Amino acid sequence: MALNVGQSAPNFTLTDSSGEGRTLQELRGEGKLLLLFFPLAFSSVCTDEMCSTRDNMKFYEELNVRVAGISVDSFFTLKVFKEQNNINFPLLSDFNKEVSEAYGALYDTFFGMKGVSKRSAFLIDENGTVAYAEVLENAGDLPDFKAIQELLD
């Protein structure tokens, strides 16, 4: 079941692309956090989404919003993906699929693979509350970044 606006964001510790554990609180710091769940590194739509976010980081930084990407890929895969695409924000491995499930962002099956993250966006506010939630069923669709930006402005 997907999270709704107004709910507390589930806490987590996930491994980043450097092999280090990162918590929700650490990632959020004193500000807001945009969590972007994506199905699979190196797929075309996921690469486009992560690179577009990379190219718009100045917007988020000016508003004190941190960004993190989450997929079920191993942190080894995410390390190469991040390096090859010059991603300038943390990528987190939800290899065990627990966080994707807690956020209601997990496909039962995706092209025959069990347990792949649904493309989703969650904006977590300074208090750890979900301020924006969007879980997409169609992996070819992108989150409504315009609505997220309007909410932040």
Integer Cα distance of 69 and 60 in angstroms = 14
Annotated catalytic residue: which of 27, 33, 40, 46?
Answer: 46
Q: Map tokens 């025959």 to a residue.
A: 112
* 118 token code pair: 């649904």
Alpha helix ranges (H) inside the chain:
24-28, 44-55, 57-62, 75-85, 98-102, 145-152
Integer Cα distance of 147 and 7 in angstroms = 19
Between the alpha carbon of residue 19 and those of residues 15, 27, 82, 108, the distances in Å are: 6, 15, 13, 27
Is 51 an active-site residue? no
For residues 71 and 41, the answer to whether their CB atoms sit within 8 Å is: yes
Q: Catalytic residue positions?
A: 46
